[in-house]
Chain A
Amino acid sequence: MEKLIGFTSDYIRYVLIGGQKFYAWMGFLSVLIAAALYGFYLQNTEGLIVTGMTSQIHEGLYFANLVFLVGVAAGAVTIVFPAYVYHHKGMHEVTVLGEMLAISAVIMVMLFVFAHMGRPDRLWHMIPYIGIYNMPGSMLAWDVLVLNGYLLLNFICGFYYLYAKYTGGKVNNNWFMPLVYISIVWALSIHTVTAFLISTLPARPMWFHSMMPIRFIVTAFAAGPCLIILAFLIIRKNTRMWIQDDAINLLSTIITWCLGIALFLTMSEIVVELYARTEHANGLYYLMFGLHGLTSLVPWFWSSLAFMIIGFVMFLVPGIRTNYKLLPIACVLAFSGIWIEKGMGLIVPGFIPTPIGEVTEYYPTLVEVLVTLGNWAAGFFILTILLKGAIGILLGEVKYESGTAAKSGDLAGSSQAAAVGSK
């Protein structure tokens, strides 16, 4: 118990103290979060009318980001799986960083759920026993179950591992390993269920196909590692933590495969839908070429496709893939390409035209953009803290023995110097 208190207080003390760069970054994020809170306040006094959503297109930026971020959360398994199933040494050292990313991404998903709801004050209606939980009928209920389960699994696995490192004790594999294996399968389940959420609606022909879950999973396993590689490269540059090259290279290989499959699935969808060009293809047609003269998503689609193809080619070439100056560019291209494809490019055209044939467009308002940015900022805020704490423990800067000594303030100063902006 004393160890646990020591862990908590040392951890908090360590993550709250940093250099100028750290405070500037956190301050910047806080400003964005404050703006989002104001937007959220407007939404819950004026109503969703302050957003661009209508009765025709009633899911927009929020739902799009929600879907995308579930993928990022699931993408963390690209570290956990090689580490524990293939005993990849480089990955094993940084597994916990992947789990921290998963925690942050799931929290972001939940923030977007709050932003999306018409009545967030009534979310308690979903809590079993005091409310009603429509199981097994409602796919949304399943999604809530798997997402919360995934958050809990990653929290337990991640922090138990860190705690063991902190105290210098051994990880109890008897229950730790089963949990890790469960969390690997669970990662697949969160994105599968999120795909089912929209692909089980015959009313929306654009979404109503069985390719959705596998497409979600491959895009997740491309976008997730892109973010992880970027984070790894930043960590290598700004902290004393060294992440091995072969861990990064393995992630690039995974991205190459998954991005290739994702592009193949996109191609399959386009051929199947546009060859026959039934009215069920109107959503995709709107996305690619516009419908009835309305074309607001067309540039988004083609830029997304271009980003993904250029990114894929860059990943294919070994000379670029292993060049850590060019790799971030490929990662940013693939990440933003998938963000468009799976976000706005998937959710919005599902509503165009409406089931009765109305063609209408969706323009996010400033409030929506602010809330979206703020939710991402909140996610990065949490991610920075979690990564900083995890790195401190992995490096041995936060240890049980030193926990008592830290009170002198001496160590706090040195760790501050060591972890200058460990973002």
Chain B
Amino acid sequence: MSVYLDYNATTPLDRRVLDSMMPFLCEQFGNASSGHQSGRIARAATDVAREQVAALVNAHPSQVIFTSGGTEANNLALKGCAARLTPGHIILSGVEHSSVRSPANVLKKYGWRLDEIGVDADGRLAIENLRAIFSGISADRAKILAVMLANNETGIVYDIAPIAALARDFGALLLVDAVQAAGKIPVDFTHSGAQLMSLSAHKIYGPKGVGALIVDKAVDMEPMLQGGGQEKARRAGTENVAAIVGFGKAAELALSELSTRHAQTQTLHHYLEARLRSELPQVCIFGQQAARLPNTSFFALPGLDGETLLMSLDRAGLAVSSGSACGTGDVEPSHVLLAMGVSPEHARGAIRVSLGKESRRDEIDSFIDCLKQQVHVLQRFAAVAYA
């Protein structure tokens, strides 16, 4: 048995997306910057993809910069803007992804001050905290604010409108990391009040290795990659044509199927959490009072070690995670949970289940059944150990 419940880490490629990519992987292999016919065919295809990606988040195609993924998009947004400003303040929510936190930390070296907005126990952003931070910074200092639209671990959705209003009042640039939100809930760049928004293809059934930064034209930004002048000199490097085309198709499908996918996963999500609560009453679902994505449950079972549990689940063919998939393989407790005031021991036992459009009810049944069984076994061991 093999059950994949880790769609927030990555998604399988949609068959229709693969079909759209195939010509550009094989026959239409031209370099989109070449002047001859094969180059022009590639260029035309990336133009269509740009429109499709723009449409998913209600942006203008000219605002789309294709990147190698969400991480590069976030890096480009923060470092690109910072490079054109006199160092001031970067303000982040306490639950941002490492691809936002890490470059923000690096910018400290260049004289930028870093402030964090706290979240409450349910993961909700303390908006008054943000106002206080802004009020404490003199008006002439540059300010860059980064708040994600939906958290990758808890699935909590942040209400960007009041944040954007504050950012506007205090003259801050706003970056919204929409990597996890896009394709799961409606996203509207134009009306969000944000100047920058990052996206990733492989979270919406598109290929890995491609993402986008949506940028308001008024934003002055330095490119991170210098070279052939691609992407209107904002991101050099030969266009990854097949991946960009796949991203476009994935975005088109995500938009046209948004409500069906939403409804479908939400039903399963409700079912999952109902069974969890009734059959494992000790379960603690993080952020359950907050607005959340219709696919993500991040929870802990007190007294159980998450790593051991994950290992046993994996042996039983169930793929879930302990939070974010990052490069170092460390087993630090989730910084998102710590920001929410969860104790390190409790956070260490956390398990994230993230559903996708391929998820089925029987997979959730398998998961719950297996989880109950493992919990039972582990509690017996624990009881023996304590005896």
Partners in one complex: no
